[in-house]
Each structure stands twice: as structure tokens, then as C-alpha cells.
Amino acid sequence: MTLVSFIIPHYNSVQYINETISSIESQTYKNFEIIVVDDNSSEEVFKELKNIINGREKISLYSLPKQFVKGANSCRNFGLLHSKGDFVNFIDSDDIILPTKIEAQLKVFTNNPDLGMVVCKTQYFADSTSNKLELLQEQDFSISDDFLEAYISKKSIWCTNSALIRKSKLGTISFHPGFLDAHEWLFYIELMIAGINVGFVNDVLVLKRKHSGSIGNSSLSKKLPSLIESRLLVIDFINSSPLDSSIYIKFLIDDINSFLKSSAKRNMYSLYFSTISKFNLSVVGKIRCFINYTVHSTTKKGDSLISIPNN
């Protein structure tokens, strides 16, 4: 029977992880292992985490070795190294998966053996699972047969917890350590550029918690370096692949221009101009960027101004 590995990064979130683990234990599909990787939580929290896990079958607890870069991405990569499953599902330590998730996704794999990843819909919630909020994606995944274009353009998106992945299709691709944001976005795009075939279940099978400690609530100033770097990396990946880059690059440049405006309005001079330097701009283009930065940083306006041409 196919084994599924659930990998949970954890850092000082014992108030939520018990509910997350319970949602895995409640799966209708029962052949799984749970790997929890703690990112050097406080001694008191780690003791509480061990008490939560103690006596529960199928759970392995690891501490992230100190030589690894701190963060959830390193925890996911470390957990993957210790996983034994044919399939892997990364889950954040404060989120919930619904009971039929794995059963429904494995059925799609069975009917489509060439698939490397099956995704599902996600709904946000606050405080308790009865307090449901908006959907992460309103539209059906079936709107496009090009999942890479749909994902980059944000027509079809999914969160870390959503995807069930055939481990043999990962190859050398892993999460980028040190990224505060855009890590899952970059991870899934790399997989699709590498040619992984994506299937879907058009049902909500994941509940994503909204609370003050979520990465999504971190200040944009902290996230901007990762948001920009991830787009630059994807442009390099696509340009180095046999894909028709013109289909995808426009969306990435649009994102970068938006992030450049945000960085200028926050007077993030170094980030703005180090990003500009990545592009082969003419002298006129560089002057335009300097003018744009001045406008954004001094007036906090100028949303119609474009720094990087998109054509």
C-alpha cells in the first residue's frame, strides 16, 4: 500500500500543531507517516511539543541541525531527506487538512499515472474551523491546461499544504533556504518548469489559518527581497529552459515592477537599484528608473510609472 509522508516544519507553535496532527490522523487514507522538524524552538516549547507527540503512532520528531539555515524551508528539506513515502505532502504547523484529502488525490493519481502532483482548493479560516473565510482560489483549476502559465498569472494558485507530490518526480528540486516569502511559489514553479504534470481536485480539502503570527502578516518591507529574488530566479530558469519564455515573462516583469514601486515608496534604495541592475537597461532606461524612484519615494504616488519595460 502506497505510503504518504507528511512533513511539518515547527517553530514555537505548539498552540496549533496538535490540531494539525489530528487532522492528518483523521484521514480516511491510513498508510502515512508524519515527520515534524523543529526549528530550534525554546526549550520549554520543545518539551511541550514532545509531550504532544509522545505515544502517537507514525510520528517522528527531529530538531533541525544547527548547520542548516534557519527557517521553514530548511525544515521541509530536512524532513524530505528522512521521508520514506512514495508521496509527500508539506503541511504548515497551524493549518488543517480535511479527512478525504489524500484519498481523493491518490484516486486522481491512480486514474492518471503520468501525473507528478495533484493539487486542491484551500479555504482560509480564523480562530476555529467553523469560522471559515474566503477561498484562496475561486475559479476551478480546469480553466487552463497550462498550469505554469495559470500559476504565474495567478489564475490558478495553491498553497504549500494543497499539493500531494510523487516523490520520485522531485529530482533535485527543493525549497530555497532563507526565503521569508515566495518559497512555495518558487518551489512549485521550478517543478513545473522541470516538466512535472499537474492534476487537480476541484474541492476544498485544506483549511489555512489566518492569525497575527502568519508569514502573510509579516510586513511587506521584510518580504520584498524574497518576492523580487524569486521572480528573478524564475526568469533565469525559464530563459534556460526550452519553454517559450514570451508566454510567462510578462507576468513576472509585471510583478517585479509592482514590487519596485513598493520598495521605492518604503525608501528601500539598495533593493530597488540592485534589482534594476539585473536588467540590461539603456542609459535612458536607467534615468527613467531614477526618476521613478524619486517620484515614488518622495510623493508615495506614481502607480502608473513603469521601471522595467515589458515587451
Place of cell 523580487: 228
Per-residue pLDDT tens digits for 167-210: 999 999 999 988 778 889 999 999 999 999 999 999 999 999 98
Question: If you ran DSSP here, which 8-state letter would residue 28 be given?
Answer: S
Per-residue pLDDT tens digits for 66-117: 899 999 999 999 999 999 999 999 999 999 999 999 999 999 999 999 999 9
Cα angle vertex 40, ends 37, 45, to 5°? 90
Per-residue pLDDT tens digits for 39-57: 999 999 999 999 999 989 8
Q: CB–CB of 93/8 below 8 Å?
A: yes
CB atoms within 10 A of CB 234: 23
- Name residue 173's amino acid: I
**How far is residue 139's CA from residue 262's CA, in Å, rounded to a whole number?**
28
Per-residue pLDDT tens digits for 273-288: 999 999 999 999 999 9
- Could you tell me the three cell numbers for 76? 521541509
Name all domains of the chain by residue range, CATH numbers in brackets.
Answer: 4-216 (3.90.550.10), 219-299 (no CATH)
CB atoms within 10 A of CB 86: 16
**How far is residue 28's CA from residue 23's CA, in Å, rounded to a whole number?**
10
